[in-house]
A and B are shown apart, each in its own frame.
Chain A
Amino acid sequence: MRTIRVALAQLVAPLGHIRGNLETILEAYDRAEEGGADLVVTPELALLGFGAGDIYFDKVQQNLEALERIRETSRTRRAWIAVGFVEQDAHGFLYNAVALIGNGKIQGIHRKVQLVNYRLFDEKRYFRRGSRFDVFPTPFGRVGFLICEDAWFSEPARILAFRGAELLVVPSASPYDRGKPEIWEDFLRVRVLDNQLPVVFVNMAGIQDGVAYWGGSMAFSARGERIFQAPFLEPHLEVVSVDLGESRLLRRRDIRLREITPALVEDYLRAFREFSGEPHD
């Protein structure tokens, strides 16, 4: 059995409080390392907070400096850490991103692709969308990231499965409303069952400006069993062992992934082009 020990760092990130949030993250990093974690996962935008409005414009630099501190810290840590932050590209555009940090290096960055702009969300005001779902090798297994809304689509998880991910990591900041925890559990389990991959969902906790980030972080085995759930709303740190070998075992008999044919994908693309009004054939 090949396992990865993932620390689900369900944190509270006050809006724009970078110094405090950095401290919270570093403290979780320490505790997770002591707890024998291989990989520490923080929520989406853990350095700046979620729903921070125009603060995203103001505090990018500070948030990058804080990320630098975490990278520095990782030199002397065995565990790697995935940190939600605001990235800025050479053109000056911002991304809602996760940095995978280990051994004193930024080993990879995932930019959120599916920005949310409905209901209370306004991400396109601030962020440019990412364009890829990459799989990152780590000493503990191959990891792919889905930032929050990325996990509400079936395609991104499938792409990561095709690219050989062994674990799907979902850093999130999900606002509470009635029934939301149940919807998330449904979505996550479907991603698992579709791809025979374990999933770790790490949600923000606490209240910001009347919005409750409900916590309830979860881990699922590749079989779709929920093997852990963190408490509602409160911050929590838990190191959970996730079996990375199970997928291979399951896929011996559950052959759905390999039954996807080029013809199917081409038809999907044709259907999509018709749907989106693009010219085709």
Chain B
Amino acid sequence: MIDLELREKELEEIRQVITASIRNRVEKVGLSGAVVALSGGIDSSLVLKLTAEALGKERVLALLMPEMGVTPDRDLQDARNLVAMLGVPHREIPINDAVDWFAQFLPGSPEEGAFRMALANVKPRIRMILNYFFANLDGRLVVGTSNKTELLLGYGTKYGDMAADIYPIGDLYKTQVWQLAEFVGIPTGIVRKAPTAGLWVGQTDEAELGYTYAQIDRVLYALVDLELSIRETAALLGVPVKAVEEIFHRVQTSEHKRKIPTITRISRMCLDKDWRYPVERF
């Protein structure tokens, strides 16, 4: 029932579909190329590789935007190695000064619980501004790196790392991202290391979420793709109902992160409800 394992044929199909979809958007909109924010983690590494495959490496700009002292050295090193390996043009821009500029407005210490998340969210939003700044400079597409697990959990910063023009891996669960990354030849070191949003020192996703990605993906697959109830999911997977409820709660409360802002309907042609046009059109 749980079918998260991608077969060889599917991996090849998915690789083709994703690269074609990136190429398609860039060409249809008449852009010069793409920008990918590269953290050195698996999602952005995979997206960078697929974008380079889609457009040719010279049409891609990788932005490495570490926060010195917070971004693990290992991630920065992995990111540098990957751009070298792929031969993708890149820029390295530490975001510390910009973060500090925001920090001065905090009424208390940045370490205080209430302020920690506000400041943490500033970081991906600074990276977002840089993404779009460089995208606008020479007509590039911003390629997002969100995956299905993250989108369902709302485990991303709205208008931060979630701000992008397309989500090429947005219909792949995290554990499937691992499989595809391995398939397309992302270095094993990147595939195997513990995922982190890198918002504060020592953060790992799985510690913050309270479950491993393998556990979360199975629950999400059962709830979303198999459309099972909470009880059915718990029974199928042999996990506590409470755990499933916790994950389901995240899915329900994060719908706003997956939609454009709700428009209050006044006319018969409300733009997010009645009006239905594709983005890629002539």
Contact = CB atoms under 8 A, between A and B. Distances in A.
Contacts of B16: 232-233
Given A14-B282, A206-B24, A207-B24, A176 B17 contact: yes
Contacts, number: 60
A209 B275 contact: no
B259 interface: no
A74 B275 CA distance: 37
Nearest to B16: A233
B278 interface: yes
Interface in B233-282: 275-282
Interface in A192-226: 206-210, 212, 214
A52 B21 contact: no
Contacts of A280: none
A214 B13 contact: yes
A176 B6 CA distance: 15
Interface string B182-215: 0000000000000000000000000000000000
A54 interface: yes
B10 interface: yes
Interface string A3-46: 00000000000111100100000000000000000000000000
A136 B187 CA distance: 57
Q: Most chain-A Cβ atoms within 10 A of its Cβ — which of B6, B276, B282? A: B282
B20 interface: yes
A233 B17 contact: yes
B281 A176 contact: no
B282 A208 contact: no
A136 B143 CA distance: 48
A55 interface: yes
A126 to B, nearest CB: 10
Given A14-B28, A178-B10, A210-B166, A52 B278 contact: yes
Interface string A45-60: 0000001111100000
Given A206-B24, A212-B20, A16 B275 contact: no
A55 B278 contact: yes
Size range of the chain A interface in the assembly:
20 to 34
Contacts of B28: 14
22 contacts: A14-B281, A15-B278, A15-B280, A15-B281, A16-B281, A17-B281, A54-B277, A125-B276, A178-B3, A178-B6, A206-B24, A207-B21, A207-B24, A208-B280, A209-B279, A209-B280, A209-B281, A210-B21, A212-B17, A233-B16, A233-B17, A233-B20
Q: Most chain-A Cβ atoms within 10 A of its Cβ — which of B3, B28, B281? A: B281
A20 B275 CA distance: 25
Q: Is the interface of A mostly helix, strand, loop or mixed?
A: loop
Contacts of A178: 3, 6, 10
B176 to A, nearest CB: 10
B270 to A, nearest CB: 13
A207 B281 CA distance: 11
B279 to A, nearest CB: 6
A212 B171 CA distance: 13
Given A176-B13, A212-B17, A233-B16, A51 B24 contact: no
A186 to B, nearest CB: 15
Contacts of A54: 275-277
A125 B281 CA distance: 19
Given A15-B281, A232-B13, A233-B16, 19 more contacts: A15-B280, A15-B282, A16-B282, A52-B281, A53-B276, A53-B278, A55-B281, A125-B276, A178-B3, A181-B13, A208-B278, A208-B280, A209-B278, A209-B280, A209-B281, A210-B166, A212-B17, A212-B20, A214-B17
A55 to B, nearest CB: 6
A52 B275 CA distance: 12
A17 B282 contact: yes
Nearest to B20: A207
A20 B282 CA distance: 10
Interface string B1-31: 0010010001001001100110010001000
Contacts of B282: 14-17, 20
Nearest to A209: B278
Contacts of A122: 276
Contacts of A16: 281-282
A46 to B, nearest CB: 14
A54 B17 CA distance: 25
Nearest to A14: B282
Contact of A207 (B13, B17, B275): B17
Contacts of A209: 278-281
A209 B279 CA distance: 6
Contacts of B279: 209
A173 B259 CA distance: 27
B4 to A, nearest CB: 10
Contacts of B276: 53-54, 122, 125
Nearest to A181: B13
Contacts of A17: 281-282
Contacts of B166: 210
A15 B275 CA distance: 16
